Structure 1
Amino acid sequence: MDLNKRNHYAFIALMEPFQDPSEIDQYKRKLGFDNAGVNCSRKNWYFWRAEWEGNIILDTVQQVTIKFRINNRHYIISVVYARCNTMERLELWDELEGIVNRELFPWVIGGDFNVILNEEEKLGGLPFTQNEAIDFASFISSCALTEVQTIGSKYTWWNGRIEVECIFKRLDRILVNQDFLEEFPSSEVHHLIRQGSDHAPLHLICKSAEEIMVKPFRFLNFWRKHKNFKKIVAENWIVEFAGNPFIEFHAKMKKVKKALTGWSKEAFGNIFQQIATMEDVIKVKKDQLEIQPSASNRADLNKVETELKKFLRLEEEFWRQKAGMKWFTEGDMNTKFFHSYVKGRRKRLHIAEIVTEHGITLTSNDQIGQAALEFFGEQFQENDYVDDYAMLDHIPRCITNEENDAMCSLPTNEEVKKVVFKLKGSSACGPDGFTGHFYQDCWEIIGEDSTKMVKAFFCGQELTRFITHTNLVLLPKKETVKHFSDLRPISLSTFMNKILSRLIHERMVMVLPKLISPTQSGFVRGRSITENVLLAQEIIRDINRRAKNVNVVVKLDMAKAYDRVSWIFLTKGDPLSPTLFIIAAEVLARALNSLHKDDNFKGYGMPKWSPEINHLSYADDTILFCSGDRVSVIKMMKILKDYEAISGQMINKSKSFFYLHDKTPLIVAIRMRRLTGIRQGNFPFIYLGFPVFYGRNNSCYYEELIRKIAKRIFAWHNRFLSFGGKQILVNSVLQSLPIYMLSAMNPPKRVMEQIHQIFAKFFWGKSGGVKGKHWVAWRELCFPKEEGGIGFRSLHDINKALFAKLWWNFTVSTNSLWAGYLWNKYCKKLHPIMVNSTGASHIWRKMVTIREKVEHDIWWQIKAGNSSFWFDNWTRKGALYYTEGNMAQDEKIEVKDFTTNGVWNEHKLKEVISEEMVLHITKNIRPPISEAITDKAWWTQSMKGEFTVKSAFHNLRGKKAENEWSNYMWVNGLPYKISFFLWRVWGKRIATDDNLKRMRMQVVSKCYCCERGEMETMSHLLLTATIAQKLWKQFSSCVGININGLTLKQLIYRWWELKMSNKLDQILKAIPAIIMWELWKRRNAPRDGWITCNTDGASKGNPGQSTYGFCLRDSKGDLIYAEAQNLGITTNMEAEAKALWEALQYCIRSQLNNIQLETDSLVLKNMIYRNWRIPWELAEIMDDIHDMLGKITVNVQHIFREKATQLADFIANSAINTEGKQIFLNFQQLPSRGRKLLNIDKLQVPSFRIKTRRISNTNYNGQHD
């Protein structure tokens, strides 16, 4: 009551009020509302004001949906009180999906859903499993719903208990559709305080767009495609003075910025308004062409359509740049996808409220802005000056004077240009608004001035604010932002600033390997993040290794590592900071490495001969390895404390953990907590995105990866993608998500198959989240187009290729810390080919399974002759260990041991290998040269001899024979969806009746695209049907092809065999695909402007109790009207005729024309066309039908019930026990079963007539039991 008084709600919904429904009027008066209602389950009460005109469109046990008219605008509100049972909730999702498919109005759905989406929405109780949320997430995705920005507590329900029995969940929420977001983009949902209930009230505030700020200049990438773009830039790249290069450059940029702004308005105008205008013009031009189909009218229409396509491409480019998706470079036009992605990101980045460090909640923009300045200003504040640099004594002098001079020398013009074109042109711009694409496309105009600035900087000239100024952007680290600590500050620099930083970085990377310890793998050329993880995994796998003391692993978390480093000399957010950070962090690395020289320090138990390692780092992510010895732990913590003091860094002990073997004595854990102040964690833990564990490689370790992929796919904006868009998304993004994990892990096959299933479900799924038929197994799609696939890649093959890379690095790398560790752990004194994988880690076992295939493709070029004589492939025919029948006697023998005075010792060679091989060696292999450089390894599967994952993938993957027709099928410029359709036709993978039967689906078949009514086959539909024949003859006659007697494939081949000029040739190759695509699009769909009318009569006996039913649908399959009635006792034919009569009567009364009338009575159709004699009892009604058929345009057709008359059959049978007419004016008024039948028919999915028969039990002798 109090809440209503304070907020003056326009609508209130109560779930399970525990009151008798008869008291609702009393509550309506108390709350001050004019209208009230209760749903059929009596658990949903709702109240609304008089100014809202409400009409219930669907009332079921778990929800009630009301359509309101407010200020001549329609809105839909669904109040939900979901059941606790998963299966019962499936009915709810089905009911609600029916609403979104029919009501194209702003929609709000809220209430108690009794399910959560992810583990972050639950605190306490049993662990969350993804299976709980799959159906709910799928419903949200299929309905294109999104959540409104929430304010208040994350959880909306509490079980009322405390301590270990306490459970909090987010069971209540409010979801809205895209139309609602368009009208109220700044809406908020407040989670209010629970009072007298275990659920929190939800308060929805509908807000229109916030006040629009003056937008700064932003360079639009599509400007570059205009023919006058460079001319405008060149004309304005002039100033009337000469002086400081920075000031001159700034003045020219300002002039160009102003010129481009004005030019864009003239050259492009408002592209969105232009598109809307041209779409209206096209409608007019089409009408003119229909009235007068002249060449001039056709030319006018083509001209406007061409112009529209140009602006549609500009619109797509605009939204693509806004979306910032670098992976989406080709495919079908996906403007809606980019647009929805941008809007979703804007909503996610909007900050509605912030809780300060003092617990104060801020909601106004001014308050939040000021608090942000204070918070991040304090975070970036310089720490107190440090004068104790004793830790720097651990750093030796590493850089020579020559190297220092080279880094400080003036850059050349070519060096500057190389850096400019190396940077990403599409990356976000800085305060000046210019992207890298501007610099790269206009380099011949602005390059000279840019290079002058760079050289002036290297001469010591101070940078101006125009160059150094940055925009600070705050990106959310969590789904819900409540505190400033949930935001990650990102600096957006000007492109010129990036050029300078990249130049310095390029020069520093040459000396970084000399400066940085091998335990630091971040931002050092030649070092790998995956090798860091692999080494950590190998070390931790031996955590239970016997040692004098217990082994301990410590994972450190540095609080705001980059922000807290003492940057005395560096502008905040400089792109060079990663390189400088690892130089600063090298102080810690050197200090930790010095512990190995301390006799009192006892380290982590390592294999014999392995390098001494007590830490691994990737930038600020650090793992320490030590023993549980008290003195050793104290020494390590002393170094960490000294590092905090000198660097400004601080260890976040609340997020740092130490890890022990599960059989470690409790006293060790207690001692570690006391000495470090850090809590104990449990395996597995995440390091650099990888699960780190010891013991078995369990599938559950990869649940987060699967959840991440599923989350990407469930994003509602993905529903706007075509097949082409999906193909690009799968190849460029979805398949790249697991690659990082596969580069250093070997997940169980079950995990990769589960990911494949997710990919397949997404790719074959239809718009709106409807499940699609998987016409081809995923493994068959994972072949190149030339081999009959569509270019996807199997994760199993990718995994092999990535482990081939690991074997290459292990074999070839001479200074890799990881490779050295593995050599000493597994190989010891043996060659890797001789080592087995018994008792090894899952990584080494996988590497061993791939080694033979990889070793055969590594060729060792003999120089000094230090390659293994038996086990390295130096003969180009494989290792002699394999080719010579395992004759190896001594694995330590090297190639140079078989030479004398610089020539091959043939006698010695013949003693150990065959004469044929000796002849090959002496004739083709150059003898080793003493004192030459070491032998060089070449990867024989690539032209340059350098290992690439791509070449390994193609070498190791499964292969098929290439198809000669693939180049014609995937024609450049042809939309992917059409090429993909042709690919499906070629493999008989489209849903024609003959293909459905081939897949053991019982279908009643008839073709509705021709007058003959033959059985529908793919060949008939696309070639021999009446319309198809006319279309093929029209086009084929123009190029001299006679289609008579040709099969579909033969006809397509004839087109592909045509030889024309280059430009015309591609068009001709594409014509067959376009013809079949247009035929397929029109299959079973009425023409635009035509209405489909299905009729049916039913009789329980003949004669017997009878009914009729009919329904009318538009060209999209949406319901216009449906009717049914009980006729009493009559015959079946009379009921069929009455259904037709009533349907025609309604069409005439409603002034409906162009009717496609479909009946499942072949007798009635033949009587209408007077092919059969009309019985006397039907004479009168048939006369009326013939009269009505003359008044409107009607095409009568016989159709099987299983094809399209299911709804008419259903409503006719439903009327058997009713009185009066049953009328259905829209989709929502249909019964649940009727809605499902309409949706099935709209998807063109046939149903089946099921008959059962009794089968007696018969033994093998044919006798009954």
Structure 2
Amino acid sequence: MLEGLPSAEEVKQVVWCMCQDSAAGPDGFSVAFYRACWEIVGEDVLQAVLDFFRGSELPRGMASTTIVLIPKVDSAQRWQDFRPISLCNVSYKIISKLMAQRMASVIGKVISPTQSGFVPGRLISDNILMAQELDHKLNYHTRGGNLILKLDMAKAYDRVQWGVLFRVMAAFGFSESVIAFIRRCVTSSWFSVLVNGQLSGFFRSQRGLRQGDPISPFLFILAAELFSRGLEALFAAYPGMAYAIGCDMRVSHLAYADDVVIFLNGSLDCVRRGKSFLDRYEAQTGQAINAGKSSFFPSRCISDRRRQQIAAVTGFGLGERPMLYLGVPIISGNKRTVHFAPLLAKIQRKFQGWNLSRLSHGGRLTLIQSVLSSLPVYLLQVTQPPLEVLKKLEGVFASFFWSSVGHDRKVHWVAWRDICRPKQEGGLGIRRLSEVGAALSMKLWFRFREQSTQWARFLRRSWAVDPCVWWSPAFGMTVDGEGPLSEWCMQGLTSSGPLLVDGTGVEILQRVPHHGEEVMRFTEARGGGCSFETPANGPDLTVAVYARCPDAAVSSESWEHPSMGAWWRERSGYLRVGMASGIIKPRHWRGAISAAQAMVIQVRIRTLHTISVVHWRRPDDGWFKLNTDGSSRGNPGESAYGAIVRDHSGQVLVARQGVLGEGSNIRAELMAILRGLELCVDRQLSPIWLESDSLVALHIIRSSGISWEFREEILRIRRLVRQHGSRKGHRFYLTDGFGSGAGKDIGFSSLMSLMAIHGAWAGLSGVLL
């Protein structure tokens, strides 16, 4: 998978997933140029990529890189005050991005769970939450006390030794060809430094990874895995070094790329062993720990004398509380407003870079929504600041919106709570920070319920928290999963409908898959995942009175429903002329039909039919073509499926039909494909050309995500396709009548317990299963 030749579609997909506004490399061609001129340059780019994967070296012009120095602090003067960012040519970044996408699928299998940087499925918030929990255990009573070491790695990317990286990759089982790909990427680069707008020098490097190269983050965490594995081996060899947390779970360190925090026992022997390991790691890998920026945080039981000894052994200074980790204050105890003063100062500094006198209210609104409001969101993901902090932040936003910044005070003509209303209600659509915090808390609860992160497992084992909790429909109240449910919860469960009793619904329960991995899914979202937008927007609540609206009987509910206007018009018409308005109500139409039928009047509804001629295409010699179809009466309703297999001459080999029970059209189509593939596997028919009349079903199968509603069917289809191979196509109907009508004829005759074969299927009774 990592070393296969890429297809033209894969190369194009890489170009289209890159940001077209990113800076160009030394050749001056940006991503926007490649997208606009892809029909002209696409074939040349593909051939260049294929040449690289066949073993060719990168040309010097393609591998050249411009280094731009970005200051990390104000008034930067020293080399350490700058961050070197590499601007690579897009032609090279296509190759690097392609390798990065392939490596992303396997990197999580070899990287330790304590490393959350650049690993798909792991978030920076996981490390922050875990650090908060471990910091709460800092003063846990244990012999020697607990100790936290916060490391600062000096120029970690620039100090990566290539030989170490290649040996680590070989130890992890990467093939020689993949290592050769990586070797050609990192060793063939040529650099020029951009100084005062002019390029200076043209030289090669002997070590380090380029910041700005898509493959560099994955290579860095691979090289840093030597640190994680070595530290874990040290703690396994000396169990007394473990950080006491009151449960059987051991956490030696947390890492996000080069931001590392070590948790160990505070005795001098443990500190010396830890420092000895750090010295050996520096000597073997070329990395360097900046002792001046590193710090340690001891527990209260560690005396002042031992704190001085720890400082002498490590060379680190005593850290100030609260500890700042990944930009978030790690607070033990009550949260105070002073702890979040850096966030307020950061927002104030944003104003200094803007020309406030030239900004209109529309421009200020845009900056609030896109810049200022996004700054607290990172903090709200992992902690809940005091309400006073949120009020101060919103006060700063309001002052900025009304141009009353600094000593220049202006009148606030509209209250901030009214400005934060949705646009449909007369507001400007700005979200209240308290509502954002509630939505992010819901997302955090979802991740805890998944139990897929180290932080969630730690809470489970440390506090014996049962993740199965009940939530109210509005995400407001919770009840612990253990013990009897409270009265309000039982009422909430039974109010939605009668429970299953006397065997009702047993057939439905029997269709629930009982094998495979259990996966948590959020049913309010189509993909089953819980993003910020899902809880922030809230569930689609339906007011009972709206359901009685005659105009709402055929549409979905919303708060801005036109039924309010319809009621007002009907009321006004009744007051003016003494009769109801002429709104044709669905119940009136049904009543008119019933009255006409009672008077033996035939009411015919004219239906427009569109005829489309679609030709069935024979498969290639040696191929077998599988045509499937499924349908549902009512959608959802009683559903059935049909499948038929022909050879290259059009001869029918085998067919299958069946009843699926209650379900939707999409589920019926997916089940038809699944049953058809299983039929081909049973008859050992291969290779298969799969053709379905549902473009939606084929799109679901091809897409990278999995809808929670059809997870079991999609996984089984993908497994069959992967094991036996198939070629998927799409047609609306089949020319010989075995299209959508086939599924309906087979299925719904069977639903009436008439298992006979009807219509066009009569001639297939010998091969039909």
- State whether residues 427 and 436 of structure 1, in contact with CA within 8 Å, keep that contact through their aligned partners in structure 2: yes
Is residue 527 of structure 2 the alignment partner of residue 944 of structure 1? Answer: yes
**Which residue in the other structure is 2:154 paired with?**
559
**Structure 1 range deviating more: 664-673 or 531-540:** 664-673
**Which residue in the other structure is 1:702 paired with?**
340
Q: In 2, Cα distance between the equivalents of 1:721 and 1:754?
A: 22
Counterpart pick for 2:22 among 427, 440, 447: 427
Amino acid aligned to 1:779:
R
Where do 1:359-370 residues align within 5 Å?
A: none
Per-residue deviation, residues 1105-1159 of structure 1 (Å, max 9, x unmatched): xxxxxxxxxxxxxxxxxxxxxxxxxxxxxxxxxxxxxxxxxxxxxxxxxxxxxxx
SS in 1 for 2:505: helix
Q: In 2, Cα distance between the equivalents of 1:824 and 1:483?
A: 47
Counterpart pick for 1:619 among 242, 254, 257: 257
**Which residue in the other structure is 2:440 paired with?**
802
- State whether residues 787 and 962 of structure 1, in contact with CA within 8 Å, keep that contact through their aligned partners in structure 2: no
**Which residue in the other structure is 2:71 paired with?**
476
**Which residue in the other structure is 1:517 paired with?**
112
- State whether residues 435 and 536 of structure 2, in contact with CA within 8 Å, keep that contact through their aligned partners in structure 1: yes
**Which residue in the other structure is 2:201 paired with?**
none
**Which residue in the other structure is 1:126 paired with?**
none
Per-residue deviation, residues 288-342 of structure 1 (Å, max 9, x unmatched): xxxxxxxxxxxxxxxxxxxxxxxxxxxxxxxxxxxxxxxxxxxxxxxxxxxxxxx
Per-residue deviation, residues 543-592 of structure 1 (Å, max 9, x unmatched): 11111221000000111111112135424524322110100000010011
Per-residue deviation, residues 945-992 of structure 1 (Å, max 9, x unmatched): 321210110118999995689xxxxxxxxxxxxxxxxxxxxxxxxxxx
Is residue 536 of structure 2 the alignment partner of residue 953 of structure 1? Answer: yes
Is residue 310 of structure 2 the alignment partner of residue 727 of structure 1? Answer: no
SS in 2 for 1:470: strand
Counterpart pick for 1:884 among 480, 490, 499: 490
- State whether residues 604 and 614 of structure 1, in contact with CA within 8 Å, keep that contact through their aligned partners in structure 2: yes
Where do 1:68-217 residues align within 5 Å?
A: none
Per-residue deviation, residues 335-377 of structure 1 (Å, max 9, x unmatched): xxxxxxxxxxxxxxxxxxxxxxxxxxxxxxxxxxxxxxxxxxx
Counterpart pick for 1:630 among 268, 272, 277: 268
Q: In 1, Cα distance between the equivalents of 2:429 and 2:74?
A: 34
**Which residue in the other structure is 1:284 paired with?**
none
What is the CA-CA distance between 1:915 and the residue it aligns to?
Answer: 6.7
Per-residue deviation, residues 408-442 of structure 1 (Å, max 9, x unmatched): 11111111111111010001111111221111122
Is residue 390 of structure 2 the alignment partner of residue 752 of structure 1? Answer: yes
Is the alpha carbon distance of 1:776 and 1:930 closer, same or farther for their aligned partners in structure 2, counting shifts above 3 Å?
Answer: closer
**Which residue in the other structure is 1:585 paired with?**
224
- State whether residues 524 and 539 of structure 2, in contact with CA within 8 Å, keep that contact through their aligned partners in structure 1: no
Amino acid aligned to 1:625:
F
Amino acid aligned to 1:577:
S
Counterpart pick for 1:533 among 102, 125, 128: 128
Where do 1:219-368 residues align within 5 Å?
A: none
Is the alpha carbon distance of 1:411 and 1:483 closer, same or farther for their aligned partners in structure 2, counting shifts above 3 Å?
Answer: same
Is the alpha carbon distance of 1:684 and 1:455 closer, same or farther for their aligned partners in structure 2, counting shifts above 3 Å?
Answer: same
Q: In 1, Cα distance between the equivalents of 2:541 and 2:328?
A: 28
- State whether residues 114 and 255 of structure 2, in contact with CA within 8 Å, keep that contact through their aligned partners in structure 1: yes
Where do 1:728-807 residues align within 5 Å?
A: 728-765=366-403, 770-807=408-445
SS in 2 for 1:424: coil
Is residue 240 of structure 2 the alignment partner of residue 604 of structure 1? Answer: no
Q: In 2, Cα distance between the equivalents of 1:735 and 1:471?
A: 34
**Which residue in the other structure is 1:999 paired with?**
none
Unaligned runs of 5+ in 1: 1-405, 835-849, 859-867, 872-878, 888-909, 966-1265
- State whether residues 797 and 956 of structure 1, in contact with CA within 8 Å, keep that contact through their aligned partners in structure 2: no
SS in 1 for 2:116: coil
**Which residue in the other structure is 1:918 paired with?**
501
Amino acid aligned to 1:735:
S
**Which residue in the other structure is 1:1181 paired with?**
none
**Which residue in the other structure is 2:469 paired with?**
833
TM-score normalised by L of structure 1: 0.38
**Which residue in the other structure is 1:436 paired with?**
31
- State whether residues 807 and 854 of structure 1, in contact with CA within 8 Å, keep that contact through their aligned partners in structure 2: no
- State whether residues 448 and 467 of structure 2, in contact with CA within 8 Å, keep that contact through their aligned partners in structure 1: no
Is the alpha carbon distance of 1:722 and 1:921 closer, same or farther for their aligned partners in structure 2, counting shifts above 3 Å?
Answer: farther
Counterpart pick for 2:233 among 594, 599, 605: 594
SS in 2 for 1:513: helix
**Which residue in the other structure is 2:457 paired with?**
820
Number of residue equivalences: 503
Counterpart pick for 2:3 among 408, 413, 416: 408
Q: In 1, Cα distance between the equivalents of 2:156 and 2:498?
A: 65
Unaligned runs of 5+ in 2: 164-182, 190-208, 544-557, 563-769
Q: In 1, Cα distance between the equivalents of 2:123 and 2:38?
A: 34
What is the CA-CA distance between 1:919 and the residue it aligns to?
Answer: 6.6
SS in 2 for 1:491: strand
Q: In 1, Cα distance between the equivalents of 2:222 and 2:308?
A: 35
- Which structure has the greater CA radius of gyration? 1
CA RMSD of aligned residues (A): 3.3
- State whether residues 296 and 317 of structure 2, in contact with CA within 8 Å, keep that contact through their aligned partners in structure 1: yes
Amino acid aligned to 1:681:
G
Q: In 2, Cα distance between the equivalents of 1:805 and 1:851?
A: 15
Q: In 2, Cα distance between the equivalents of 1:584 and 1:767?
A: 48
Q: In 2, Cα distance between the equivalents of 1:938 and 1:832?
A: 13
**Which residue in the other structure is 1:1122 paired with?**
none
Is the alpha carbon distance of 1:419 and 1:621 closer, same or farther for their aligned partners in structure 2, counting shifts above 3 Å?
Answer: same
Is the alpha carbon distance of 1:852 and 1:554 closer, same or farther for their aligned partners in structure 2, counting shifts above 3 Å?
Answer: farther
Q: In 2, Cα distance between the equivalents of 1:508 and 1:423?
A: 17
Q: In 1, Cα distance between the equivalents of 2:82 and 2:542?
A: 47
Is the alpha carbon distance of 1:956 and 1:710 closer, same or farther for their aligned partners in structure 2, counting shifts above 3 Å?
Answer: farther
What is the CA-CA distance between 1:756 and the residue it aligns to?
Answer: 0.3
What is the CA-CA distance between 1:766 and the residue it aligns to?
Answer: 7.1
Amino acid aligned to 1:933:
G
Is the alpha carbon distance of 1:774 and 1:917 closer, same or farther for their aligned partners in structure 2, counting shifts above 3 Å?
Answer: farther
What is the CA-CA distance between 1:680 and the residue it aligns to?
Answer: 1.3
- State whether residues 720 and 767 of structure 1, in contact with CA within 8 Å, keep that contact through their aligned partners in structure 2: no
Where do 1:1121-1200 residues align within 5 Å?
A: none
**Which residue in the other structure is 1:640 paired with?**
278
Is the alpha carbon distance of 1:919 and 1:490 closer, same or farther for their aligned partners in structure 2, counting shifts above 3 Å?
Answer: farther
Q: In 1, Cα distance between the equivalents of 2:473 and 2:560?
A: 30
What is the CA-CA distance between 1:635 and the residue it aligns to?
Answer: 1.9
Is the alpha carbon distance of 1:502 and 1:662 closer, same or farther for their aligned partners in structure 2, counting shifts above 3 Å?
Answer: same
**Structure 1 range deviating more: 535-544 or 778-787:** 778-787
Counterpart pick for 1:450 among 41, 45, 51: 45
Amino acid aligned to 1:593:
E
SS in 2 for 1:939: coil
Amino acid aligned to 1:806:
L
Q: Percent identity?
A: 35
Q: In 2, Cα distance between the equivalents of 1:442 and 1:796?
A: 47
Q: In 2, Cα distance between the equivalents of 1:691 and 1:618?
A: 16
**Which residue in the other structure is 1:502 paired with?**
97
SS in 2 for 1:478: coil
What is the CA-CA distance between 1:626 and the residue it aligns to?
Answer: 0.4
Is the alpha carbon distance of 1:851 and 1:595 closer, same or farther for their aligned partners in structure 2, counting shifts above 3 Å?
Answer: farther
What is the CA-CA distance between 1:853 and the residue it aligns to?
Answer: 4.5
Q: In 1, Cα distance between the equivalents of 2:362 and 2:498?
A: 58
Q: In 2, Cα distance between the equivalents of 1:662 and 1:959?
A: 54
What is the CA-CA distance between 1:630 and the residue it aligns to?
Answer: 2.4
Amino acid aligned to 1:817:
Q
Q: In 1, Cα distance between the equivalents of 2:486 and 2:272?
A: 54
Higher relative contact order (CA 8 A, sep 6+): 2
TM-score normalised by L of structure 2: 0.61
**Which residue in the other structure is 2:607 paired with?**
none
- State whether residues 596 and 612 of structure 1, in contact with CA within 8 Å, keep that contact through their aligned partners in structure 2: no
